[in-house]
Structure 1
Amino acid sequence: MLKSISNIRQKQEGAIMMKNTIEFKNSELTGLANVLGGFKLKGKASLGRTVLIRKFAKKQEEVNDDRIEIQKKYFETDKEGSLRVFKGSEGKLIPRSELIDKEDPKKLGTKAAKELDDEIKELNNEKAIIDFSEYSPRFKALKDALEDYPYELESDSAIAYERVYDQLEQAFNKGEK
């Protein structure tokens, strides 16, 4: 199994997990942040949302770093360690010579492409654990505001609402037991 850098960071940051944590899949972070930014909130609830969005952004940066490290196993890098791209290709990465498709040298071979895809899927499915202990009153206000949110939500907004509210509710219910 892939031991990603973000998992290692999470273990280092919290060998003892704080009781005030919420969890999301890495693949959810950007979408949740984007939708939450559009919610009409004020006061402490708005502050809680802002902190949560910042924490999502920090976790997303870690995921992006991990994704680049995975890609470096399959694609060429320059002297500085940056991924190389074909000229004029708008970011198409150059496969490592030992991993190219024999019929199309601008692509990864089938086996390498599947391995890369599997590693990226695993990274996307990993949990991003967000500790909010120091911001607990703000997150409690966010939970309370979402509980009584007066506006109708549809599609992505409704899904984001449900994911964030459920996580906050579970976190605060743990503290009450």
Structure 2
Amino acid sequence: MTEKTEILQLGADALRQQARRVDDFNCVKFHQLIATLSSIMLESNGVGIAAPQLGASWQIIIVASRPTLRYPQAVEMPPVVMVNPHYKILDESLIKDWEGCLSVPGIRALVPRYRALHVSYQNPQGVACQMQLQDFPARVFQHEFDHLQGLVYLDRVETNRDIVAETEFFKRIAA
């Protein structure tokens, strides 16, 4: 990865492909990609990012819920790199809330997501890990996990009326 790495935008073919499992945890490119994902996510005020957003077809996501300009009400949690993640639903309740995406700038939408999950993944050293996520961090995980399946959050919207311009979104949350 170079310093000129950019986040792919909606319409890029790589965003619509299923990502491959990571099998080589010693690969230099793998660790460089994780570092690049982290820095781009932070620079972009993101609360999560997935490898396909940088054109890398690997099952790697970072979940990093924290208050930002884009998500001022987000809860604080340290960034977690998740490789080859999967999950079980702990709470079948679907909660609609606002989402945006670094690959879909300028738009926000109300997206239904499960409230609580049990997540299993490998860390960057290949060690099996588990955690439970709920509310906003669970939402971020599901959003990033979708990228590994070739989906974007707009694919989950129930009606086009739930999609708004980001300028309108900021008016709504300021009210």
TM bin (shorter chain):
under 0.3
TM-score by length of 2: 0.27
TM-score by length of 1: 0.27
Larger radius of gyration: 1
Higher strand share: 2
